[in-house]
Chains A and B, each alone.
Chain A
Amino acid sequence: MDAIEVEGLRKTYAGGVEAVRGVSFTVHSGEVFALLGPNGAGKSTTVRILTTLSAPTAGQARVAGFDVASQPREVRRRIGYVAQVSGVDVTATGRENLTLQGQLFRLAGAALRGRVEELLDLFQLAAAADRPAATYSGGMRRRLDVTMGLIHRPEVLFLDEPTTGLDPESRAVMWKEVRRLAEGGLTLLLTTHYLEEADQLAQRLAIVDGGRIVAVGTPDELKGRLRGDVVSVELANRGRTAEAEAVLRAQEEVASVMVDGNRLYAQVSHGARAVPALLAALEKAGLDVTQVSLARPSLEDVYLTATGHAYREQGEPAVG
């Protein structure tokens, strides 16, 4: 069975901002699926629709077998949601946060107390359980967020940017937790703007850009679509990239060329053999090259090919 089925999903906010422009994908039961893309790509909006927080303008989505628009109550009972903005009540202790969350899922008595203890232990929060969450570190708060998403043993867990703002150590801990949850058979949909994170955690991923999905597949499938190697060339003169692009395209070995600023990325079948020829051609055209590198395709290259612009981390606008 599929845990999430999304068909032609659109969201236009009042004011005309088109956050999601026709997104379709399927997440299989027990799978870890990632939506990868920069901020503003429409990942969070998609997750907000799937968790019933936001109504779609058009399209359909079913989560755990129920329609998010017409059967939101059924959906809510079966999902856990860990938002990008932490939902922890900082005036309450970890245990109080977790207990209230359980109560809202209509758990009570010994069953609830047992589940709370179990999760606090599992996520190494037992020692801090009776301290106000305001005293928690960023990593602890994030772990508390995850326990709250799990209190009612959901079928599908949504993790919106689970490691954004965490230090590398806390990120490693979170990755470990996600892998452990995946082993337990939970369906996980996570959004991330870290290519590495999607590569490490997801069995399948969708690259989201400008409110659309531009590529879907396993990380290996996506990389496999890029045959051969990628030669990256940096020009001394930014004004001559168009010329350089034409020169590279004219080469027989080159399958495709992408331009990003004064950098050009050429896809070739055999990098080591192609580099001398490409450099010679550029030199002949009078173009100065300041840097050359050769790489096996990474998810970054997949992203570049799919979207037409290089991947930039949070904070920088991704412009092509």
Chain B
Amino acid sequence: MEFLRDTWHLFVRLMRATMRMPVFVIISIVQPILWVLLFGQLFKSVTTIPGFESHAHAPSISYVQFLAPGISIMTALFGAAYSGMGLLGDIDRGVLDRFLTTPVSRGALIAGRILHAAVQVIVQAALILVVACLLGARPLGGVPGILTVFLAAALLGAAFASFSNALALLARRQELVIAVMNFVVLPTTFLSSMIMSRDLMPQWIRGVSRFNPVNWAVTAARAGFQGEATSEAAIYLGLLAAFALICGALATLSFRRYRKAM
């Protein structure tokens, strides 16, 4: 109970800080829209390659339809990956120490940040789906499908936010958090079916992508958006949840280690 209440108060603080940065808010809104427009144009012709989404029930799937859930996941990944930077800011400014001398639940200090990342991710995913629909995409999976996109994005966001916070607590250097996350974000993006149909991937990438949490999220989100409730999507959502829990545990352990080292 106290954990939940503390998490909520700390979440509200972070949301408020985000809303007070109008430039940040505008960029987080404009950027995913740009991704949809840019990638939508750039890769438009891939749908004409023979074999693209051959299993999709719609024989002539539009690329925006294909792309929208993928961009939702990509935005979640990019947004959450740098969540640890905020924590480093709190450490440097003595804010974390001040919190630690109060009876606040220790877990809430991390949970509040993860919740903040997850909520931000869902808002962005919603915007992306709206823009995609304006460009001709259709949420064939209805409300459950849209909720599946949100769930996949939120779980992946929570996992990467946790990982980023763990990294921040262990390394305590902004440069290192940026370097590692940059190193992780792009390969995991391209080793997934985010912008390219799985059917057109080289065999080895298809193999690797099976173990890529970003691909789990993309696959589940796309299945939901397309209204194809596959067992594969359900399994991937389960795996994502497990991955998020492991990353959460890693963040908690790192936080304990950080406190011990003080």
Q: Which residues of A contact B (CB under 8 A)?
A: 14, 48, 51-55, 73, 76-77, 79, 81, 83-92, 96, 100-101, 103-106, 132, 148
Contact = CB atoms under 8 A, between A and B. Distances in A.
Contacts of B98: 81, 83, 87, 101, 148
A90 B92 CA distance: 12
Nearest to A108: B5
A106 B97 contact: no
A101 B94 contact: no
Given A86-B93, A87-B94, A92-B17, A51 B101 contact: yes
Nearest to A52: B101
Nearest to B21: A91
Contacts of A85: 93-94, 97
Given A91-B20, A105-B102, 7 more contacts: A53-B101, A81-B97, A89-B17, A96-B13, A96-B16, A104-B9, A132-B20
A285 B195 CA distance: 91
A133 B245 CA distance: 36
Contact of B102 (A54, A76, A89, A90): A76
A100 B13 contact: yes
B16 to A, nearest CB: 7
Interface string B88-110: 00100111011111111000000
B112 to A, nearest CB: 11
Given A77-B103, A104-B102, A53 B97 contact: yes
B261 A14 contact: yes
A132 B20 CA distance: 10
Q: Dominant SS at the A interface?
A: loop
A92 B13 CA distance: 8
26 contacts: A14-B261, A52-B100, A73-B103, A76-B102, A79-B101, A81-B97, A81-B98, A81-B101, A83-B97, A86-B93, A87-B94, A87-B95, A87-B99, A88-B93, A91-B16, A91-B17, A91-B20, A92-B17, A96-B13, A100-B13, A103-B9, A104-B103, A105-B103, A106-B5, A132-B20, A148-B98
B69 to A, nearest CB: 33
Interface of B: 2, 5-6, 9-10, 13, 16-17, 20, 90, 93-95, 97-104, 259-262
A261 B5 CA distance: 59
A4 to B, nearest CB: 15
Most chain A CB within a 10 A radius of its CB, from B17, B103, B261: B103
Contacts of A84: 94
B102 A101 contact: yes
Most chain A CB within a 10 A radius of its CB, from B2, B10, B95, B99: B95
Nearest to B18: A91
B262 A54 contact: yes
A76 B106 CA distance: 12
A104 B260 contact: no
A295 to B, nearest CB: 39
Contact of A53 (B5, B95, B100): B100
Contacts of B97: 53, 81, 83, 85, 87
A103 B13 CA distance: 11
Contacts of A87: 93-95, 97-99
A85 B100 CA distance: 14
B105 to A, nearest CB: 9
Nearest to B9: A103
A73 B103 CA distance: 6
Contacts of A103: 5-6, 9
